[in-house]
Amino acid sequence: MEIAAAIRLQKFLAQCGVASRRAAEQLILDGRVTVNEQQVQQLGTKISPCDRVCVDGVTVQREKKFHYILLNKPPGYVCTSVDPQQRPCAIELVQKNIHERLYSVGRLDFLSSGAIIFTNDGDFALNVAHPRSNIEKEYIVETSRPVPDPVIESFAQGILVEDIRYKAIQIKKINPTTVDIVLIEGKNREIRRVLSFFHMHPVRLHRVRIGPVRLASLKEAASRPLSPLEKKQLMHL
């Protein structure tokens, strides 16, 4: 294993394509990582060029080839690599012809559909997923009944739901039961929580854009590589 200099363990795991850096930290805390056959659970531990790093007993090495894949996720798929309930995993739709281990950048919940990016580049994943990058996510949301103007105004101005503040960067009606919503931070199930607060429920929640990357004509369950320009734009937003 070649490492140019001492490096933090979680960063090295991300560069190996094991998981995003944040998820790699959880692997360490869970006791699933060893360095030279010794379990390591201390975040910030640094490793040297001669150290042997294993996750769940399997030696890991830095990736030599990186992938950046956009998937149009169908509803009814989870974004984890393994699901205890044995529901279908979105990774299965993109992993077929790729030997390197991929993981999703952020999540879409089980019932939601649309744009999600998969990669094995931990630094890229951290940059795109982190709120400080201010990357917009755009959703088309169809609801079970007409959306009242006060709902739109409240979400645009910012609303407190169960002590958490939610705010859309942009929200506009497409028709009485369909809205276009743009978020930046994208807290867990944000749109569903806000609509539920107003006793409304999405019939369809579909993400159409992540920053400059648009689904456009990409069919459901289909995927494509990000263009070099899209990758560059995401890294510099």
Catalytic residue annotation? 109
Q: Which contiguous run of DSSP H or E holds residue 224? A: strand 223-225
Burial of 176 (0-12, 13-18, 19+ CB in 10 A): exposed
**Phi, psi for 104 (deg, rounded to 5):** -80, 150
Query: Rounded to whole angstroms, how far apart are CA atoms 164 and 123?
Result: 29
Query: Rounded to whole angstroms, how far apart are CA atoms 224 and 137?
Result: 18
Amino acid symbol at 132: R
Segments of 77-201 assigned E as strands: 103-105, 113-119, 137-143, 159-161, 164-166, 170-175, 178-183
Between strands 46-47 and 178-183, the pairing is: unpaired
> 81-99 burial string, b = 16+ CB within 10 Å, else e?
beeeeeeebbbebbbeeee
Question: What does the longest C-alpha to C-alpha distance in the chain come to?
Answer: 62
Following CA atoms 188, 192, 197, 198 in sequence, which dihedral angle do they give, to the nearest 10 degrees? 150
Q: Return the DSSP state at 193.
A: H
